[in-house]
Amino acid sequence: MKLGILAYGSLIAEPGKELEQHIVGRIKTQTPFEVELARSSKRRAGAPTLVPVPDGKGCQVQAYILVLDNEVAVEEACNILYRREINCVGEKSVIYNDERQRSRQDKAVVIEKLHDFEGVELVLYTSLPPNIDILNDDSASPAEKASELAHLAKQSVTKETFCCQRDGIRYLADAICHGIQTLLTEPYRQAVLRLVGDAPDLEEARLRIARQKCLISQEER
């Protein structure tokens, strides 16, 4: 196995059409670095998303290596992964420029490499910088951090994100479904449920928020 992509977030279930056609296998593993729900994503209306964080700020989580066929060169794999990350799947004119991305700051999408990882010669993964400030505040309690994440998740439920299931609550539910548990996953989940009158689960919380914002009728599920 020569080339793979490390998936530890939405990439697990939604690799995108460009990538899907080259996946020939999956290897269950753990991230060799710590991650946390530490980035507010503009592409998800501010929803908290999983990104690598410094040691001690998160934990290693369940992940999968998406093993690619030998027809894909490393450069093209980087382009495909980059396009998927910035929601430009299929736009072949959009290519990854490593030097340019590393020279940027908050918005940078950088593709990192792992060599000889889990029997795969080269494994690529995306790395975006954390940008939720309270998560770096050592004086803030887990409950306070979780409350901020829940607030961001609620704000991320918009007409557009709700319809295409790209809001923060759906993202959290999908991560839990795939066995991903960070230090803040459970406090964050509980905070979301409390926001809407102790909802029984995340899907009901998501529906209640959509009703509050008049995105769906009171009867719709």
Each residue of 100-151: pLDDT tens digit? 999 987 668 999 999 999 999 999 999 999 999 999 999 999 999 999 999 9
- Give domain status of residue 219, yes or no: no
Burial class for 156, CB neighbours closer than 10 Å (0-12, 13-18, 19+): buried
Same domain, 120 and 166: no
Q: What mean pLDDT do residues 35-49 have?
A: 96
Residue showing tokens 């926001």: 195
pLDDT at 217 (0 to 100): 81
Contact status, residue 171 vs residue 51, Cβ threshold 8 Å: no
* Opening angle at CA 125, ends 87 and 190, nearest 5: 75
- Distance of alpha carbon 19 from alpha carbon 72, whole angstroms: 10
Q: What is the pLDDT of residue 220?
A: 66
pLDDT in tens, 45-77: 999 999 999 999 999 999 999 999 999 999 999
Is residue 49 a part of any domain in this protein? yes
172 and 122 fall within a common domain: no
Residue 96 sits in the same domain as residue 18: yes
Same domain, 122 and 138: no
Please indicate, yes or no, whether residues 95 and 185 belong to a single structural domain of this protein: no
**What is the rounded average pLDDT for all residues in the chain?**
95
Whether 34 and 107 map to the same domain: the answer is yes
AA letter at 76: E
Name the region of 118 (left: φ>0; alpha: ψ -120 to 50; beta: rest).
left
Is the residue at 217 inside a domain?
Answer: no
- Give yes or no: residues 77 and 117 share one domain: yes
Whether 117 and 87 share a structural domain = yes
- Among 127, 149, 171, the domain-final residue is 127
- pTM, 2 dp: 0.93
127, 149, 184 - which closes a domain: 127
Q: Tell me: pLDDT of 183 over 80.
A: yes
Q: Does residue 63 sit in the same domain as residue 154?
A: no
pLDDT, mean of residues 142-162: 97
117 and 30 within one domain: yes
Same domain for 99 and 55? yes
Q: Are residues 85 and 142 part of one domain? A: no
Q: What range defines the domain where residue 85 resides?
A: 3-127
State the total domains in the chain.
Answer: 2
Q: What is the pLDDT of residue 104?
A: 84
Domain boundary among 74, 103, 127: 127
Q: What is the maximum span of the chain, computed from C-alpha positions, in angstroms?
A: 53
For residue 221, tell me if it sits in a domain. no
In this predicted structure, what is the pLDDT of residue 36? 98
Which helix (DSSP H) or strand (DSSP E) does residue 64 occupy? strand 62-68
Nearest to 80 by CA among 16, 31, 127, 25: 16
